Structure 1
Amino acid sequence: MSEEQIIAKGREVIKIEGNAVLGLEKSIDDSFVKAVKIILSSKGRVVFTGMGKSGLIARKIVATMNSTGTAAIFMHPTDALHGDLGMVRKDDVVIMISKSGNTEELLNLIPMFKRIDVKIIGMLGVRDSKLGRECDVCLNVSVEQEACPHDLVPTASTTASLAMGDALAIALLEMRGFTPEDFALLHPAGSLGKRLSLRIEEIMIKGKDVPVVNEETPLKDTIYEITSKRLGTTCVVDDNGLLTGIITDGDLRRLLEKTLDLKDLKASDVMTVNPKTIKPDLLASFALQEMEKYNITSLIVIDDFGIPVGIVHLHDLVKLGLQRR
């Protein structure tokens, strides 16, 4: 194949699979509503099962549902017939995925599911099939053609099943009122979970590590405070400990461009008043947004009285992976 033919083939596959997904829109009908309601009303889990590539798709949908508030597990059809059927309970809902609707391993499970009296939802490429006639609800995931040139290898059909599974998961998410905070509880690791859950008080520099000087502190001692705390900045407070300003490395450089006579200067002569601040109970991701908005590298954390209790530095937020990717 020439390079042009390779590109053409790749585009053809994307087009076929894209059309397969778009064609599913008409399949979102009363059966879809019934499937969502069955899952919502159940007190158990959603048990997915499927053979071969349908099984692999089922595993992915399980992962999506678990991460969006719907408890789900995967059960291999063959293993189910050799003991794993014990994981299915009366309150569960079973979703069977099959392109043909006649998968023998799944058909063998039907009598067992009927005996347990669980609801069965089929995601089938052929609704009028043996499995389709046994299911309580049947979701149509049929496709006009596979991307495989011989119309054999499951490609468009597995993509369609995956999209239908995502549609179910997101519909359930909406019905449950699943919030970003709920998502964060299920994703404590990773940048997304941290952005949704990590608060400023958990990651801010605090205590003796926070650089603070009084307004009357000589500039020489102020520079030492900035240097020793290694944050490139210091808070400036009045005699009551209330924040009145901030001094940064940049302020000092700009001062030196104007004069080298620093001996009579004090912190209040150099500080920038009304510095940007933040409260400790806000999300750490909000601090990053504020820094990006004002093009600054640190924020002073103050309590309800205006007393500095910490500092959040841009480098620390980046290290935590809070930046959007």
Structure 2
Amino acid sequence: MGLLSWLFGRKGTTAPKGREKSAEELEYERRLAIEATQKVRREAQLNPQVSAASVVGSSSPARRPLPRRDVFASHDQSKEWVKNVRDVNRRVRASSVRRAQVYTYTWKGLPALRTGQRITMRRSSATSLKSTYNGSTWEKNKDGGTAFSYKGKTCCVVFSSIVEGHDSVTMVCEGQFSRGLPELRVEVQQHYEQQDEARYVPRNRRPSRLPELKATRTVALSGEEDAQDILTHYGNDALVWLTVRRGEIPKGKSKGQPTLWFSLDGIDVGYLTALQGERHYDQIPDGEAMCLARIKQGAKKYEVTVHLPDYEKQH
């Protein structure tokens, strides 16, 4: 006799009443039960020596379905990727700007600058300057540095090496050092690697009215050798939308086992292996879903890697 049967059946004892389940909870449990039954039937069909009852009663680890919010995206993830790349490029660009102080010796005859105003100055061949502020003199041979001119008039010197090799530079007004003498800083953009936003824009039209699978992990497909024409059409490194449906492995030692099939513009381009199919099969509802995928040129053929949700690990 089980423990619960002993506790609740002995001497007429009845089980304590708990909170009644909501309609949503009952419906969710009903769908899970249907999915579990369907999975048991599939496994029994694939292995006739094992009865459905033995599968149900098996002590092997079981997977619990992930919540819907962890399987399906609520928005177009490719647009989010483009936005993220744009933000990264902006930050990389900003971090690659080097700045240095500018020593302004004279501004006589030049227009006043506003705080924050950006101007372009050109390298000057001048070798000496006299300050209109305190009368000090700069001499290139003795003090070093590089002179720059604005609107044809030599006016300032930069002692930093960041201006080396630049015939023109950008300078920013940070205020007024003294009346008629602006406080300047020089900004030099260093070389930096920028990601291509276009790489994250799908090459084909997004399917309509289908749930979009979350792009949490990448999985390689099998069977692309039969779809080289359509893959060649899109080319290497293309990001594309695929539709996903339930199906069976068509050949090999796992022939007939449940898996997921992926189609590009209505043409099948591959399927998941038996292991990956087992992990993701129950994530796809009856009907179809969509996901993002990347086409890559392999050693002998074009290959496809799909972006899928994570899966519940066995416990």
TM-score, normalised to structure 2, is 0.24
Of structures 1 and 2, the larger Rg is shown by 2
TM-score, normalised to structure 1, is 0.24
More strand by share: 2
More helix by share: 1
Higher relative contact order (CA 8 A, sep 6+): 2
